[in-house]
Amino acid sequence: MENGETEVWLDFAKDCNYLPGEVYKQIYSLNEEVAKLLHHMINNPNKYL
């Protein structure tokens, strides 16, 4: 949920021209990586205990 909220704020920052397009793409890409890692951790909790 928190990661999804981050996406919303990134979109907001881009739409309000607080973030240049290239910076937005870089941060958004990093946020997607975090989402993948969190998804893996949620689905495989025993690997992280």
Domain range list for the chain? 2-48
Q: How does DSSP classify residue 17?
A: T
Confidence label for 3 from pLDDT (cuts 50, 70 and 90): confident
Confidence label for 35 from pLDDT (cuts 50, 70 and 90): very high
Q: What is the pLDDT of residues 5-34, one digit of tens each?
A: 999 999 999 999 999 999 999 999 999 999
CB 31 within 8 Å of CB 6: yes
SS3 2: helix
Q: What is the dihedral of CA 33, 35, 36, 42, to 10 degrees?
A: 150
